[in-house]
Structure 1
C-alpha cells in the first residue's frame, strides 16, 4: 500500500487527565469542549455570528463517519462506501474525527458538551474508501468523483498517496473536482519530509499543522507547495472506537479538517464565489501573525495561518474565477518535470513563429556569420599549418551539450501503508506517528 492517513498516533487514545475513562458522558463531553483550544484561538463564537456553514456540503473521503455519534446526529448525509460496507460505519475513528472538527454540533444543554466543529451547520457527505488499512490508489479517486457528482462543495482529503502524481487516477479525479467548482483540501503529511501527494497537486489547498502556540508542528511535511497552516496538535475529536467516544489527535489531518471547515464557512457566506475565489479569500486573509520576517509563500506556513474571521469579513476582491492556485505547481507536480531546462528552451524556440521581417533579419545575419566563419577558418589553418591537429590535447570543442545532461525524471518514491495500532483504551504516547507496527494480520 502507498497510502497514509495524515494524523498522528499520539492522539489515537482516549482523552485523559481531566477526562477519565469512567467519567459520566456529560462530564466527559464538557472536558472535551474545554480542551478545544482552536475554537478559542479562532474566537469561534464571533465567527459564527457571520457564518456557520449552512447550506454547504463537505465530503470527508476517509474511513467512514459514525452518524450516530451524539455530536454528529443529523449532520451526516447517506454517502457511499467503496469498500463494500456502510459509509456510516467507522471501525478506525479517523473519518468520524475529521467530520466532527468540520461539522460537529456538540450535544447536551445548549449543545455545550462534546466536540463543536468550526462549521457546525454544514453537512458531511461520508465517502468511505478505507475500511481499516484497505484503501488503495484505485478506490479513493472513485470516491472523489462520487462526492463531486453528489454536489459536495468542499472535499477533505486527510491522507497521502504517493501514487497520485500527475496523470494518475487520483490526479485526474481531483482535476475533475476542480473543473466542477469544488475546493479540494489535503494534508501535506506527517513525516517531516516534503509535501506529499495529493496535497502537492496543482490547485489543491495543501495544509500544515500548528501547535497550541501557533508554531509549526515539527512533523509536518513542508517545502514548496504549502498553501496554509492551521491548528493540528492535541486536538479533541469524536471517536466512537474509544470507550467514552472521544480521543485526541495530532497531525496535518486535523489541520486539513479545520481549513475545510473555513472553506465551508466562506462558501456559505459568499455563495456567488467560485472555488478558486474561495481559495483566494482563504489565502488573502491568512497571516503570519507573530512569525516575523516570513515571506509568502513560506515553506512551513505557506501564505500564512488560516483565519476564519478574517476570511469572512475582510474586504477582498473576488479575483479571477480560477483562483491563485490554478497554475501553481508544487514540487514534482508538473508532467514535464523530466524535461531539462535546455530541452524546454529548445521546445519554446521551436514553437516561436517569427514575423516576416524577422526572417529577413535572421537570413541577413546568417549570411554575415558564414562569411566571417570562412575568414576565420582560413586564418586558423595558416596559423596551425605544421602544428598539432585541432583534435589533439587541449584542442577542439566539447561535443554539443557536454556538461549539460538531461535532468532525470523526478521519482515518486512509494511508501508502504502503516496503520496505527489498535487503541488499548488507556493513555499511551507514541513519539513517531509513522514508527508504529501495523495492526496484526495486515
Structure 2
C-alpha cells in the first residue's frame, strides 16, 4: 500500500436537499447544525480510472473557484481509498457528479467534530510538582503499574518509549512546556485559519499523559502535534481524517508506521469513512488509540471509537468503576484512568503548570503511552501485536459497572505478572 496524501477540514454527518443521481449520500439525515456549508467529501469507486479521476477533479476545482469557493481543497489517497474534499455550491457539485457516475462511489457532507466534553476538576491551576522519582505520582500512573488500586507510586521500566513517535491528533501541543523536555514537536496543522500552537489546552494535557516527564506513561517518547481542532475544541471529520493519514505518512518516513502510535481523543457520530481511514492506518501498522466518548452511551454510536481496528478506551474512576460519563459496550477494548487526571496545562503566564481534567480523552493517552512503552520495551511492531499485548496484560474482572464492556484495566507489568 502506498500512502500519498491526506484530507482537509473537520467533518461529521448531515443530509443534503437532493441525491446525486445514483451516487449515494452516506451521511444523509444528519442534523443541519453539524454541516459545514458547501463542503463535501467525494469518494471514488475502487477501480475508477486515475485519468478520469484527475479530469473530474480539475472540473470540480475550476467550477468551484468560478463560484468563489475553494474548489478541490485537498485529496485523499490512502491505500485503496481515493477521493477529495471540495468546497463548491451543492447544485454545481450535483451536476458534475451526475456526469461522472461511473467513477463516483459516494458523497458525504463535511460535518463538525469536537473534543469530548471534559470536566475541569479544579479551576485552579496546580503548581508543577518537583518529583525526583515517581513516588506519590499521579494516581492514574500508579493505577496502571499495579494490579490492585490504592498505590501511590508509578513503577515503570526506564526505557520509557524512547524513540517511539506518538502522534497527538488534537488541538495542538504547547511544545515548550517543561514537562516535555524538548521531546514535543509540531508536525502539521489541518485546523484551517489557526496558528500551529495549542490555543485550547486539551492537546497539551493529552500529550502530557502520554509522554510528560512527570505526568506521562512513556517518559521518553517523541510527541508529534497534529492539529485538527481550533481554540474551541471543534473541527471537522475531514481534518481528522487528513490528520490521521498525514501521521501514517510521516511515520513511514521516520522509522515505520508499525512503530508509531496515533492518539485520537475526540469524536462525533458514527462515521464509516473515518472508521475506514482508521482501519487503513492500522493496516499500515500504526496503533490507533481512540477515546470511547463521554456520553454514557454505546461506543458503537460514535467515531472513531467504533472503528474495529482502534484500541477504544473507556474511563476508569478511583473506585475502579466505569466513570459515570464513559461510553461503554463491546467495542470498548480497555479502561484506563479518566477522572481527575493531572497533566501538563496550557498557560499564558508559565510553561510549567499542570491541571486536572476528566474524560475518556484523558483515559486514551494512558493507553497511547502504554503502547509506546510496550513497543520499546518488548520490541513490538504493528498494531495487532501492540493491541494484543495491551489486552493480554490487562487486569481482568475488577472493573465495576462495565455496562457490557470487557472488564479490562490497563497494566504495564511493572510490579509482577
Q: TM-score, normalised by structure 1?
A: 0.59
Asked if 1:228 corresponds to 2:330, the answer is no
Identify the residue that residue 142 of structure 2 maps to in structure 1: 40
Asked if 1:199 corresponds to 2:308, the answer is no
Give the Å deviation of 1:144: 0.3
Asked if 1:117 corresponds to 2:216, the answer is yes
Identify the residue that residue 129 of structure 1 maps to in structure 2: 228
CA contact (8 A) 1:11 1:248 kept: yes
CA contact (8 A) 2:135 2:154 kept: no
Distance 1:96 1:237 in 2: 8
Give the Å deviation of 1:6: 2.4
- More deviation in 241-250 or 214-223? 241-250
Give CA deviations for 1:312-355 in whole Å, capped at 9, x if unaligned: 975xxxxxxxxxxxxxxxxxxxxxxxxxxxxxxxxxxxxxxxxx
Distance 1:83 1:291 in 2: 37
Q: Which runs of 5+ in 2 are unaligned?
A: 1-33, 35-111, 146-152, 252-256
Determine which of 344, 349, 353 is the counterpart of 1:238: 344
DSSP 3-state at the match of 2:289? strand
Distance 2:369 2:330 in 1: 24
Q: How does 1:32-71 map to 2 (within 5 A)?
A: 34=136, 36-43=138-145, 45-49=154-158, 51-71=159-179
Identify the residue that residue 269 of structure 2 maps to in structure 1: 162
CA contact (8 A) 2:206 2:343 kept: yes
Give the Å deviation of 1:135: 0.6
Give the direction of change, closer, same or farther, for the CA distance of 1:125–1:87 in structure 2 (3 Å limit). farther
Asked if 1:249 corresponds to 2:367, the answer is no
Give the Å deviation of 1:75: 1.1
Q: How many residues align?
A: 287
Give the Å deviation of 1:70: 1.0
Identify the residue that residue 185 of structure 1 maps to in structure 2: 289
CA contact (8 A) 1:80 1:86 kept: no
Distance 1:121 1:300 in 2: 35
Give the Å deviation of 1:48: 2.2
Identify the residue that residue 320 of structure 2 maps to in structure 1: 214
Give the direction of change, closer, same or farther, for the CA distance of 1:85–1:268 in structure 2 (3 Å limit). farther
Q: Which runs of 5+ in 1 are unaligned?
A: 20-24, 106-114, 315-442
CA contact (8 A) 1:142 1:173 kept: no
Distance 1:33 1:149 in 2: 39
Give the Å deviation of 1:61: 0.1
Give CA deviations for 1:393-423 in whole Å, capped at 9, x if unaligned: xxxxxxxxxxxxxxxxxxxxxxxxxxxxxxx
Distance 1:257 1:187 in 2: 9
Give the Å deviation of 1:288: 2.7
Determine which of 222, 242, 247 is the counterpart of 1:147: 247
CA contact (8 A) 1:103 1:122 kept: yes
Distance 1:26 1:280 in 2: 35
State which structure, 1 or 2, has the greater radius of gyration over its C-alpha atoms. 1
More strand, by proportion: 2
Distance 2:393 2:137 in 1: 26
Give CA deviations for 1:164-206 in whole Å, capped at 9, x if unaligned: x22x2x2232122111101111111111111021111111111
Determine which of 193, 212, 224 is the counterpart of 1:104: 212
CA contact (8 A) 1:14 1:242 kept: no
Give the direction of change, closer, same or farther, for the CA distance of 1:177–1:260 in structure 2 (3 Å limit). same
CA contact (8 A) 1:144 1:173 kept: yes
Distance 2:357 2:135 in 1: 14
Question: What RMSD over aligned residues (CA atoms) do the two structures have, in Å?
Answer: 2.8
Distance 1:37 1:119 in 2: 15
CA contact (8 A) 1:13 1:242 kept: no
Give the Å deviation of 1:46: 3.0
Q: How does 1:24-35 map to 2 (within 5 A)?
A: 34=136
Give the direction of change, closer, same or farther, for the CA distance of 1:175–1:41 in structure 2 (3 Å limit). closer
Give the Å deviation of 1:41: 2.3
Identify the residue that residue 45 of structure 2 maps to in structure 1: none
Identify the residue that residue 182 of structure 2 maps to in structure 1: 74
Give the direction of change, closer, same or farther, for the CA distance of 1:88–1:308 in structure 2 (3 Å limit). farther
CA contact (8 A) 2:215 2:344 kept: no
DSSP 3-state at the match of 2:120? strand
CA contact (8 A) 1:283 1:303 kept: no
CA contact (8 A) 2:291 2:312 kept: yes
